[in-house]
Protein backbone atom coordinates (compact mmCIF):
# COMPACT_ATOMS: atom_id res chain seq x y z
CA UNK A 1 0.00 0.00 0.00
CA UNK A 2 1.07 3.59 -0.56
CA UNK A 3 -0.40 6.78 0.83
CA UNK A 4 1.23 8.98 -1.78
CA UNK A 5 -1.70 9.45 -4.14
CA UNK A 6 -3.21 12.90 -3.87
CA UNK A 7 -1.44 16.18 -4.50
CA UNK A 8 2.30 15.67 -4.12
CA UNK A 9 4.55 18.19 -2.41
CA UNK A 10 8.02 19.15 -3.58
CA UNK A 11 10.02 20.19 -0.51
CA UNK A 12 13.46 20.45 -2.12
CA UNK A 13 15.53 23.65 -2.10
CA UNK A 14 14.77 24.52 -5.69
CA UNK A 15 13.05 24.35 -7.98
CA UNK A 16 10.33 25.30 -5.55
CA UNK A 17 6.57 24.83 -5.69
CA UNK A 18 5.02 26.74 -8.59
CA UNK A 19 1.85 28.62 -7.59
CA UNK A 20 -1.22 27.80 -9.68
CA UNK A 21 -1.44 31.51 -10.47
CA UNK A 22 2.03 31.40 -12.03
CA UNK A 23 1.24 28.25 -13.99
CA UNK A 24 -2.02 29.74 -15.27
CA UNK A 25 -0.28 32.94 -16.31
CA UNK A 26 2.11 30.88 -18.42
CA UNK A 27 -0.61 28.79 -20.03
CA UNK A 28 -1.25 30.87 -23.11
CA UNK A 29 -0.58 31.06 -26.83
CA UNK A 30 2.81 32.36 -27.98
CA UNK A 31 2.76 36.17 -27.86
CA UNK A 32 4.08 38.73 -30.31
CA UNK A 33 7.68 39.54 -29.36
CA UNK A 34 7.92 42.76 -31.41
CA UNK A 35 5.17 44.86 -29.90
CA UNK A 36 2.13 44.61 -27.67
CA UNK A 37 1.49 43.28 -24.18
CA UNK A 38 4.74 41.35 -23.67
CA UNK A 39 6.96 44.19 -24.83
CA UNK A 40 5.03 46.65 -22.67
CA UNK A 41 5.31 44.37 -19.63
CA UNK A 42 9.08 43.96 -19.38
CA UNK A 43 10.12 47.40 -18.02
CA UNK A 44 7.75 46.87 -15.09
CA UNK A 45 9.23 43.46 -14.39
CA UNK A 46 12.69 45.01 -14.24
CA UNK A 47 11.48 47.68 -11.80
CA UNK A 48 9.78 45.12 -9.57
CA UNK A 49 12.84 42.85 -9.55
CA UNK A 50 14.80 45.83 -8.26
CA UNK A 51 12.24 46.29 -5.48
CA UNK A 52 12.73 42.65 -4.44
CA UNK A 53 16.53 43.08 -4.52
CA UNK A 54 16.23 46.41 -2.66
CA UNK A 55 18.25 48.30 -5.21
CA UNK A 56 17.68 51.40 -7.27
CA UNK A 57 20.49 50.44 -9.66
CA UNK A 58 20.34 47.87 -12.49
CA UNK A 59 18.77 44.47 -13.15
CA UNK A 60 19.72 42.32 -16.17
CA UNK A 61 17.68 39.25 -17.11
CA UNK A 62 19.21 36.31 -19.00
CA UNK A 63 17.68 33.09 -20.28
CA UNK A 64 19.51 30.66 -18.03
CA UNK A 65 19.73 29.08 -14.59
CA UNK A 66 21.74 30.11 -11.57
CA UNK A 67 24.98 28.99 -13.17
CA UNK A 68 24.25 31.38 -16.03
CA UNK A 69 23.81 34.21 -13.54
CA UNK A 70 27.18 33.31 -12.02
CA UNK A 71 28.93 33.42 -15.40
CA UNK A 72 27.14 36.61 -16.42
CA UNK A 73 28.26 38.38 -13.27
CA UNK A 74 31.85 37.15 -13.51
CA UNK A 75 32.24 38.08 -17.15
CA UNK A 76 31.18 41.70 -16.59
CA UNK A 77 33.52 42.24 -13.66
CA UNK A 78 36.75 40.41 -14.41
CA UNK A 79 39.63 40.39 -16.84
CA UNK A 80 41.91 37.41 -17.30
CA UNK A 81 44.62 37.53 -14.65
CA UNK A 82 42.52 39.44 -12.09
CA UNK A 83 42.43 38.27 -8.48
CA UNK A 84 39.39 37.53 -6.34
CA UNK A 85 38.61 36.19 -2.89
CA UNK A 86 35.80 33.71 -2.23
CA UNK A 87 34.26 33.21 1.21
CA UNK A 88 33.08 29.61 1.42
CA UNK A 89 30.37 28.15 3.65
CA UNK A 90 29.55 25.16 1.43
CA UNK A 91 29.74 23.78 -2.04
CA UNK A 92 28.18 26.66 -3.98
CA UNK A 93 31.05 29.04 -3.29
CA UNK A 94 33.39 26.38 -4.65
CA UNK A 95 31.37 25.94 -7.84
CA UNK A 96 31.26 29.69 -8.46
CA UNK A 97 35.02 29.84 -7.79
CA UNK A 98 35.69 27.02 -10.24
CA UNK A 99 33.83 28.93 -12.91
CA UNK A 100 35.86 32.09 -12.26
CA UNK A 101 39.11 30.13 -12.43
CA UNK A 102 38.16 28.67 -15.81
CA UNK A 103 37.63 32.21 -17.01
CA UNK A 104 41.22 33.05 -16.05
CA UNK A 105 40.67 34.71 -12.68
CA UNK A 106 43.03 33.80 -9.82
CA UNK A 107 40.79 33.08 -6.85
CA UNK A 108 41.76 32.43 -3.23
CA UNK A 109 39.23 30.69 -1.02
CA UNK A 110 38.68 31.59 2.60
CA UNK A 111 37.07 28.46 4.07
CA UNK A 112 34.57 28.59 6.92
CA UNK A 113 33.58 24.92 6.83
CA UNK A 114 30.10 23.46 6.48
CA UNK A 115 28.60 24.35 9.83
CA UNK A 116 29.36 28.03 10.33
CA UNK A 117 28.76 31.37 8.62
CA UNK A 118 31.45 33.67 7.24
CA UNK A 119 33.47 35.27 10.05
CA UNK A 120 33.86 38.93 9.04
CA UNK A 121 37.05 39.29 11.10
CA UNK A 122 38.78 36.74 8.89
CA UNK A 123 37.63 38.69 5.84
CA UNK A 124 39.12 41.91 7.22
CA UNK A 125 42.41 40.12 7.96
CA UNK A 126 42.63 38.63 4.47
CA UNK A 127 41.99 41.98 2.84
CA UNK A 128 44.35 43.83 5.14
CA UNK A 129 47.11 41.47 3.98
CA UNK A 130 46.38 42.53 0.38
CA UNK A 131 48.27 45.81 0.70
CA UNK A 132 48.56 46.27 -3.06
CA UNK A 133 44.75 46.03 -3.38
CA UNK A 134 45.01 43.34 -6.03
CA UNK A 135 41.78 41.61 -4.98
CA UNK A 136 39.18 43.04 -7.31
CA UNK A 137 36.15 41.39 -5.76
CA UNK A 138 35.00 39.41 -2.75
CA UNK A 139 32.55 36.67 -3.76
CA UNK A 140 30.20 35.04 -1.28
CA UNK A 141 26.91 33.18 -0.99
CA UNK A 142 24.28 34.62 1.36
CA UNK A 143 22.68 31.21 1.97
CA UNK A 144 24.63 28.14 0.97
CA UNK A 145 21.93 25.70 -0.06
CA UNK A 146 23.99 22.62 0.81
CA UNK A 147 24.67 23.62 4.42
CA UNK A 148 21.70 25.99 4.97
CA UNK A 149 23.90 28.53 6.73
CA UNK A 150 23.22 32.25 6.26
CA UNK A 151 26.04 34.77 6.43
CA UNK A 152 25.79 38.39 7.52
CA UNK A 153 26.33 40.31 4.29
CA UNK A 154 26.25 43.74 5.92
CA UNK A 155 29.00 42.64 8.32
CA UNK A 156 31.10 41.38 5.41
CA UNK A 157 30.80 44.77 3.71
CA UNK A 158 31.72 46.47 6.98
CA UNK A 159 34.79 44.22 7.25
CA UNK A 160 35.90 45.17 3.73
CA UNK A 161 35.42 48.87 4.49
CA UNK A 162 37.09 48.64 7.89
CA UNK A 163 40.47 48.02 6.27
CA UNK A 164 39.89 50.55 3.49
CA UNK A 165 39.90 47.90 0.77
CA UNK A 166 38.25 48.88 -2.56
CA UNK A 167 37.07 45.34 -3.49
CA UNK A 168 33.66 44.88 -5.04
CA UNK A 169 31.24 42.72 -3.05
CA UNK A 170 29.50 40.06 -5.18
CA UNK A 171 26.76 38.01 -3.52
CA UNK A 172 24.91 34.88 -4.62
CA UNK A 173 21.31 35.15 -3.36
CA UNK A 174 20.00 32.36 -5.59
CA UNK A 175 18.70 30.28 -2.67
CA UNK A 176 17.22 33.00 -0.55
CA UNK A 177 16.07 36.05 -2.52
CA UNK A 178 12.54 36.85 -1.28
CA UNK A 179 12.95 34.39 1.64
CA UNK A 180 15.68 35.90 3.84
CA UNK A 181 16.11 39.65 4.25
CA UNK A 182 18.46 41.11 1.67
CA UNK A 183 19.24 44.82 1.18
CA UNK A 184 21.46 45.31 -1.86
CA UNK A 185 21.94 49.06 -1.59
CA UNK A 186 21.58 49.28 2.18
CA UNK A 187 24.26 46.67 2.74
CA UNK A 188 26.67 47.94 0.08
CA UNK A 189 26.47 44.99 -2.29
CA UNK A 190 27.84 45.78 -5.77
CA UNK A 191 26.72 42.68 -7.69
CA UNK A 192 23.98 40.21 -6.76
CA UNK A 193 22.97 37.09 -8.65
CA UNK A 194 19.66 35.26 -8.43
CA UNK A 195 17.46 32.92 -10.45
CA UNK A 196 13.75 32.44 -11.01
CA UNK A 197 13.13 29.00 -9.53
CA UNK A 198 13.51 29.41 -5.79
CA UNK A 199 12.01 32.27 -3.78
CA UNK A 200 10.70 33.81 -6.99
CA UNK A 201 8.33 30.85 -7.58
CA UNK A 202 8.83 30.72 -11.36
CA UNK A 203 10.17 27.73 -13.32
CA UNK A 204 13.96 27.49 -13.79
CA UNK A 205 15.09 29.46 -16.81
CA UNK A 206 15.65 33.08 -15.82
CA UNK A 207 19.03 34.22 -14.51
CA UNK A 208 19.13 37.60 -12.79
CA UNK A 209 22.10 39.88 -12.25
CA UNK A 210 21.81 43.11 -10.26
CA UNK A 211 24.67 45.60 -10.26
CA UNK A 212 25.49 49.17 -9.27
CA UNK A 213 27.59 51.92 -10.86
CA UNK A 214 30.79 50.81 -9.12
CA UNK A 215 30.42 47.35 -10.66
CA UNK A 216 29.59 48.91 -14.02
CA UNK A 217 32.90 50.78 -13.83
CA UNK A 218 34.63 47.38 -13.59
CA UNK A 219 32.65 46.35 -16.67
CA UNK A 220 34.33 49.23 -18.53
CA UNK A 221 37.64 47.35 -18.62
CA UNK A 222 36.54 43.73 -18.06
CA UNK A 223 37.96 41.61 -20.87
CA UNK A 224 35.97 38.49 -19.96
CA UNK A 225 32.77 40.09 -21.18
CA UNK A 226 31.23 38.73 -24.37
CA UNK A 227 28.24 39.85 -26.38
CA UNK A 228 25.75 37.48 -24.82
CA UNK A 229 26.75 38.12 -21.21
CA UNK A 230 27.20 41.89 -21.54
CA UNK A 231 24.86 43.46 -19.01
CA UNK A 232 24.90 46.93 -20.60
CA UNK A 233 22.55 46.42 -23.59
CA UNK A 234 20.25 44.45 -21.33
CA UNK A 235 19.92 47.32 -18.90
CA UNK A 236 19.96 50.19 -21.40
CA UNK A 237 18.30 48.53 -24.42
CA UNK A 238 17.98 50.55 -27.60
CA UNK A 239 15.20 48.18 -28.68
CA UNK A 240 13.27 45.31 -27.13
CA UNK A 241 15.43 42.51 -28.51
CA UNK A 242 18.44 43.86 -26.59
CA UNK A 243 16.82 43.00 -23.26
CA UNK A 244 17.50 39.33 -24.00
CA UNK A 245 19.97 39.44 -26.90
CA UNK A 246 17.44 37.62 -29.05
CA UNK A 247 14.05 36.03 -28.48
CA UNK A 248 12.49 36.92 -25.14
CA UNK A 249 11.70 34.10 -22.65
CA UNK A 250 8.03 34.75 -23.34
CA UNK A 251 6.22 32.39 -20.98
CA UNK A 252 8.72 32.72 -18.17
CA UNK A 253 8.12 36.46 -18.26
CA UNK A 254 4.37 35.97 -17.80
CA UNK A 255 5.08 33.60 -14.94
CA UNK A 256 7.52 35.98 -13.29
CA UNK A 257 5.11 38.90 -13.69
CA UNK A 258 2.49 36.93 -11.77
CA UNK A 259 4.98 35.84 -9.09
CA UNK A 260 6.10 39.45 -8.59
CA UNK A 261 2.46 40.50 -8.28
CA UNK A 262 2.01 37.89 -5.56
CA UNK A 263 5.05 39.19 -3.69
CA UNK A 264 3.84 42.77 -3.99
CA UNK A 265 0.35 41.84 -2.80
CA UNK A 266 1.73 40.13 0.30
CA UNK A 267 4.48 42.72 0.80
CA UNK A 268 8.17 41.80 0.72
CA UNK A 269 8.64 42.22 4.47
CA UNK A 270 5.62 40.00 5.11
CA UNK A 271 7.05 37.43 2.70
CA UNK A 272 10.27 37.38 4.74
CA UNK A 273 8.25 37.11 7.97
CA UNK A 274 6.23 34.19 6.62
CA UNK A 275 9.41 32.37 5.71
CA UNK A 276 10.82 33.09 9.17
CA UNK A 277 7.75 31.80 11.00
CA UNK A 278 7.60 28.62 8.93
CA UNK A 279 11.34 28.06 9.35
CA UNK A 280 10.95 28.41 13.13
CA UNK A 281 8.23 25.73 13.08
CA UNK A 282 10.59 23.41 11.19
CA UNK A 283 13.42 24.11 13.61
CA UNK A 284 11.15 23.49 16.61
CA UNK A 285 10.22 20.07 15.21
CA UNK A 286 13.77 19.11 14.24
CA UNK A 287 15.22 20.17 17.60
CA UNK A 288 12.57 18.09 19.38
CA UNK A 289 13.17 14.99 17.25
CA UNK A 290 16.87 15.39 17.91
CA UNK A 291 16.40 15.15 21.68
CA UNK A 292 15.61 11.43 21.39
CA UNK A 293 17.52 10.22 18.35
CA UNK A 294 20.21 10.80 15.74
CA UNK A 295 18.61 13.75 13.91
CA UNK A 296 20.62 16.95 14.22
CA UNK A 297 20.36 20.40 12.69
CA UNK A 298 23.46 21.10 10.57
CA UNK A 299 23.51 24.68 11.86
CA UNK A 300 23.22 24.87 15.62
CA UNK A 301 22.75 28.60 16.18
CA UNK A 302 19.35 29.94 15.12
CA UNK A 303 20.92 33.25 14.07
CA UNK A 304 22.96 31.40 11.44
CA UNK A 305 20.06 29.47 9.89
CA UNK A 306 18.36 30.38 6.63
CA UNK A 307 14.61 30.90 6.32
CA UNK A 308 14.67 29.08 2.97
CA UNK A 309 16.29 25.67 3.49
CA UNK A 310 17.22 23.37 6.38
CA UNK A 311 20.00 20.77 6.25
CA UNK A 312 19.64 17.81 8.61
CA UNK A 313 22.24 15.26 9.68
CA UNK A 314 20.89 11.84 10.58
CA UNK A 315 23.68 9.36 9.84
CA UNK A 316 24.08 7.12 6.77
CA UNK A 317 22.07 5.49 5.34
CA UNK A 318 19.12 6.94 7.26
CA UNK A 319 18.90 10.18 5.26
CA UNK A 320 18.41 8.37 1.97
CA UNK A 321 16.08 5.80 3.57
CA UNK A 322 13.88 8.51 4.98
CA UNK A 323 13.73 10.48 1.72
CA UNK A 324 12.84 7.41 -0.28
CA UNK A 325 10.18 6.37 2.23
CA UNK A 326 8.39 9.73 2.32
CA UNK A 327 8.44 10.04 -1.45
CA UNK A 328 7.11 6.53 -2.09
CA UNK A 329 4.60 6.45 0.73
CA UNK A 330 3.59 9.97 1.57
CA UNK A 331 3.87 12.09 -1.61
CA UNK A 332 6.60 14.40 -0.29
CA UNK A 333 9.96 14.86 -2.01
CA UNK A 334 12.75 16.00 0.31
CA UNK A 335 16.13 17.36 -0.76
CA UNK A 336 19.23 15.18 -1.00
CA UNK A 337 22.39 15.79 0.96
CA UNK A 338 24.87 17.73 -1.14
CA UNK A 339 28.66 17.40 -0.83
CA UNK A 340 28.79 17.52 2.95
CA UNK A 341 32.38 16.30 2.93
CA UNK A 342 31.99 13.35 5.29
CA UNK A 343 34.65 10.82 4.14
CA UNK A 344 32.63 7.92 5.60
CA UNK A 345 29.57 8.96 3.63
CA UNK A 346 30.60 9.83 0.06
CA UNK A 347 27.01 9.42 -1.17
CA UNK A 348 25.69 11.89 1.43
CA UNK A 349 23.23 9.23 2.62
CA UNK A 350 23.40 10.59 6.13
CA UNK A 351 21.80 13.90 5.22
CA UNK A 352 18.59 15.33 3.87
CA UNK A 353 17.28 18.83 3.34
CA UNK A 354 13.90 20.49 3.62
CA UNK A 355 13.25 23.24 1.08
CA UNK A 356 10.85 25.86 2.45
CA UNK A 357 11.21 28.65 -0.07
CA UNK A 358 8.65 30.58 -2.08
CA UNK A 359 5.06 29.37 -2.29
CA UNK A 360 4.95 27.66 1.13
CA UNK A 361 2.40 27.98 3.91
CA UNK A 362 1.68 26.53 7.34
CA UNK A 363 -0.29 23.51 6.18
CA UNK A 364 2.43 22.53 3.71
CA UNK A 365 5.12 22.76 6.39
CA UNK A 366 3.06 20.89 8.99
CA UNK A 367 2.27 18.24 6.39
CA UNK A 368 5.94 17.81 5.50
CA UNK A 369 6.87 17.56 9.17
CA UNK A 370 4.10 15.03 9.80
CA UNK A 371 5.27 12.70 7.07
CA UNK A 372 8.90 13.01 8.20
CA UNK A 373 7.81 11.78 11.62
CA UNK A 374 5.91 8.90 10.00
CA UNK A 375 9.04 8.09 8.01
CA UNK A 376 11.24 8.13 11.11
CA UNK A 377 8.85 5.75 12.84
CA UNK A 378 8.39 3.43 9.86
CA UNK A 379 12.15 3.13 9.40
CA UNK A 380 12.82 2.44 13.07
CA UNK A 381 14.82 5.65 13.52
CA UNK A 382 14.50 6.89 17.10
CA UNK A 383 13.28 10.46 17.71
CA UNK A 384 12.19 12.65 20.56
CA UNK A 385 8.41 12.92 21.12
CA UNK A 386 6.33 16.06 20.69
CA UNK A 387 7.92 17.52 17.56
CA UNK A 388 4.65 18.10 15.74
CA UNK A 389 3.15 19.80 18.76
CA UNK A 390 6.24 21.97 18.99
CA UNK A 391 5.83 22.98 15.34
CA UNK A 392 2.12 23.70 15.77
CA UNK A 393 2.89 25.76 18.87
CA UNK A 394 5.56 27.72 17.02
CA UNK A 395 3.03 28.62 14.34
CA UNK A 396 0.19 29.36 16.77
CA UNK A 397 2.42 31.51 18.98
CA UNK A 398 3.79 33.43 16.02
CA UNK A 399 0.43 34.19 14.42
CA UNK A 400 -1.61 34.67 17.60
CA UNK A 401 -5.31 35.38 17.33
C1 LIG B 1 20.42 26.67 -6.71
C2 LIG B 1 21.65 27.44 -6.42
C3 LIG B 1 22.63 27.67 -7.40
C4 LIG B 1 22.60 27.06 -8.76
O5 LIG B 1 21.47 27.38 -9.48
P6 LIG B 1 21.18 26.55 -10.82
O7 LIG B 1 19.90 27.14 -11.29
O8 LIG B 1 21.05 25.12 -10.41
O9 LIG B 1 22.29 26.77 -11.75
C10 LIG B 1 23.71 28.47 -7.06
N11 LIG B 1 23.83 29.00 -5.84
C12 LIG B 1 22.93 28.78 -4.86
C13 LIG B 1 23.14 29.39 -3.51
C14 LIG B 1 21.81 27.99 -5.13
O15 LIG B 1 20.91 27.76 -4.16
Q: What is the pLDDT of residues 52-79, one digit of tens each?
A: 999 999 999 999 999 999 999 999 999 9
CA of 278 to the centre of ligand 1 (A): 22
Q: How far is the CA of 304 from the centre of ligand 1 (A)?
A: 19
Confidence category of residue 401, pLDDT binned at 50, 70, 90: confident
Q: How far is the CA of 298 from the centre of ligand 1 (A)?
A: 19
Quote the ligand 1 centre to 75 CA distance (angstroms). 18
Atom nearest to 142 CA in ligand 1 = 13
Q: How far is the CA of 205 from the centre of ligand 1 (A)?
A: 12
- Pocket probe for ligand 1: among 66, 74, 151, the residue whose CB has the most ligand atoms within 8 Å is 66
Q: What average pLDDT does this structure show over 145-167?
A: 98
CA 174 to CA 74: how far, in whole Å? 15
Strand 9-11, strand 332-336: pairing: parallel
* Residue nearest (by alpha carbon) to ligand 1 atom 6: 66
| pTM flag (> 0.95) | yes
Query: In whole angstroms, what is the distance from residue 188 CA to residue 190 CA?
Result: 6
Atom of ligand 1 nearest to the CA of 204: 7
For residue range 356-378, list pLDDT tens digits in order. Answer: 999 999 999 999 999 999 999 99
Q: Ligand 1 centre from 343 Cα, in Å?
A: 24
Q: Ligand 1 site: residues with CB under 6 angstroms? A: 14, 65-67, 92, 141, 145, 172, 174-175, 195, 204
> What is the DSSP annotation of 55-90?
-SSEEEEEES-HHHHHHHHHHHH--TT-EEEEEESS
**pLDDT, tens digit, for every residue of 333-362?**
999 999 999 999 999 999 999 999 999 999
Amino acid sequence: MTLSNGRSCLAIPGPSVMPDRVLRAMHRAAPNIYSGALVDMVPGIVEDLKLVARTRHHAAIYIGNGHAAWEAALSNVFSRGDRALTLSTGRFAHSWTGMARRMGVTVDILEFGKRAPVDPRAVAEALEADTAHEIKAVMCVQVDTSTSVISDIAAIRAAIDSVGHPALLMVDCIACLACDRFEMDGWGVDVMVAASQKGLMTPPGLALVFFNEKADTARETADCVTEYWDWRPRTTPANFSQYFDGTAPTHHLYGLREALDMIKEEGLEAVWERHRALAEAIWAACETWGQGGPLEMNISDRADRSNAVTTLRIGAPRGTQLREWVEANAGVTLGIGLEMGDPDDPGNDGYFRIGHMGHVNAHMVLGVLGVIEAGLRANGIPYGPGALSAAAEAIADRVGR
